[in-house]
């Protein structure tokens, strides 16, 4: 029994010129505890699909259910980590992590306990009273992850969370994420355009096509972790997925050139 059902999902954006079909006939079933990457070039609708699961922008057709309930709005059962971190800059690290729990009117002592555990888990103890402006990008994303973990939601949605980080910080946070995922067993739906990142992290990679966004390949990754990006198996898969993604990227590039020619 899958946890997230994505049934025949369509998403059409109405624009003055023409309607853009961002998602078409998407069907996916995601099991509890699965780590799924949505992979594809810009404009393939991977973020649109994630936002639909989050409840920020509902599909134009079809439906998404989580644990059998249809998604109609955002909610703390599906915590989201944004590429831009989206930490509240007027709150300290600890206040940011506690905020979701205060919203749920949790007991003070309980909040304090959870916040301390998460500060510990994400190695943020020394930063508890800092404001986000004083943190590096990697540290900020740790706080954003802790803020979502505080909700104790079964599902974690991540929209290119490490896209703005340098390569070393990125690898470091990928390892942290895997460690946390192993420990807490959440379902993770992770959007990225990095082929290597998706192979390094995911149980399953969903490659999407460029406009309209459909599922091009639903690929399970059968490699033990920690995965070695220099291994032969890793690179075979990387080559294979790279070919798929580049086909779509080429269509994206052609479209952009066409648009530029019209201007």
Q: Is 54 a residue that touches other proteins (CB under 8 A)?
A: yes
Number of continuous H segments (helices) and E segments (strands) in the chain: 7, 10
Segment near other proteins (CB under 8 A), from 26-34, 36-44, 74-82, 169-177?
Answer: 74-82
Cβ-based nearer residue to other proteins, 36 or 87: 87
The rounded distance, in Å, linking the Cα atoms of 187 and 155 is: 5
CB of 31 to other proteins, least distance (A): 23
Contact 181, 188 (CB under 8 A): yes
CA 149 to chain centre: 14
Which residue in 10, 20, 56, 238 binds other proteins (CB under 8 A)? 56
Q: Is 154 a residue that touches other proteins (CB under 8 A)?
A: no
DSSP class of residue 133 equals: G
Which residue in 33, 62, 75, 137 binds other proteins (CB under 8 A)? 75
Are β-strands 19-30 and 215-220 bridged in parallel, bridged antiparallel, or unpaired? unpaired
Segment near other proteins (CB under 8 A), from 39-47, 129-137, 189-197, 247-255?
Answer: 129-137
Which residue in 29, 72, 88, 246 binds other proteins (CB under 8 A)? 88
Q: Is 183 a residue that touches other proteins (CB under 8 A)?
A: no
The rounded distance, in Å, linking the Cα atoms of 245 and 247 is: 5
The rounded distance, in Å, linking the Cα atoms of 15 and 243 is: 31
Segment near other proteins (CB under 8 A), from 60-68, 90-98, 189-197, 213-221?
Answer: 90-98
For 63, the 3-state DSSP assignment is: strand
The rounded distance, in Å, linking the Cα atoms of 259 and 118 is: 47
Q: Is 151 a residue that touches other proteins (CB under 8 A)?
A: yes
Q: Is 78 a residue that touches other proteins (CB under 8 A)?
A: yes
Residue 109's alpha-carbon distances to 42, 95, 120, 143, 234, in angstroms, are 44, 14, 17, 20, 46
Q: Which residue has the tokens 């998407």?
A: 26
Q: Is 86 a residue that touches other proteins (CB under 8 A)?
A: yes
- Binding footprint of other proteins on the chain (CB under 8 A): 54, 56, 73-76, 78-80, 82, 84, 86-92, 99-100, 103-104, 131-133, 147, 151
């Amino acid at each position: 029994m899958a946890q997230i059902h994505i049934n025949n999902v369509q998403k059409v954006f109405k624009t003055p010129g023409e309607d853009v079909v961002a998602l078409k006939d998407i069907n996916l079933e995601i099991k509890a505890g699965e780590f799924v990457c949505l992979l594809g070039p810009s404009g393939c609708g991977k973020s649109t699909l994630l936002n639909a699961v989050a409840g920020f922008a509902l599909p134009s057709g079809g439906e998404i259910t989580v644990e059998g309930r249809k998604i109609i709005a955002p909610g703390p059962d599906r915590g989201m980590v944004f590429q831009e971190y989206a930490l509240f800059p007027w709150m300290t690290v600890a206040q940011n992590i506690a905020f979701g729990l205060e919203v749920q009117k949790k007991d003070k002592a309980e909040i304090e306990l959870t916040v301390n555990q998460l500060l510990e888990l994400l190695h943020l103890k020394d930063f508890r009273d800092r404001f986000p402006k004083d943190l590096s990008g990697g540290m900020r994303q740790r706080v954003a992850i802790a803020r979502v973990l505080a909700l104790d939601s079964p599902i974690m949605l991540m929209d290119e969370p490490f896209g703005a980080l340098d390569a070393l910080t990125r690898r470091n946070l990928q390892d942290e994420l895997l460690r946390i995922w192993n420990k807490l067993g959440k379902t993770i739906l992770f959007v990225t355009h990095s082929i290597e990142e998706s192979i390094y992290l995911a149980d399953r990679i969903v490659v999407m096509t460029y406009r309209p966004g459909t599922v091009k390949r639903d690929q399970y990754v059968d490699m033990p972790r920690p995965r070695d990006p220099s291994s032969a198996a890793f690179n075979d898969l990387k080559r294979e997925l790279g070919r798929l993604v580049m086909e779509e990227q080429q269509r994206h590039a052609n479209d952009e050139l066409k648009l530029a020619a019209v201007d």
